[in-house]
Amino acid sequence: MKEKSLESQNSCFVFGGGTRLCPGKELGIVEISSFLHYFVTRYRWEEMGGDKLMVFPRVFAPKGFHLRISPY
């Protein structure tokens, strides 16, 4: 019976799972959450025209959605 090596598997586990769980998963999530909170609350967001957002069946702007982001 052949043993499977890790190099021969074409799988991608971003944070892994089971015994291969990434020890930095929670730290990464906290860092991204902190950055997003800072970015959203410390800057002024203004719509600059473009398309209106369509919300059904998913949120998207067919011709783009332009924003001006400036510090408070």
How much is the average pLDDT of 36-63? 85
pLDDT bracket for residue 34 (50, 70, 90): very high
Q: Which residues contact 47 (CB under 8 A, 6 or more apart)?
A: 65, 66, 67
CA separation for the pair 42, 34 (Å, rounded) = 12
Residue showing tokens 């860092």: 31
User: What would the mean pLDDT of 60-66 be, rounded to a whole number?
Assistant: 81
pLDDT band at 11 (very low <50, low <70, confident <90, very high): low
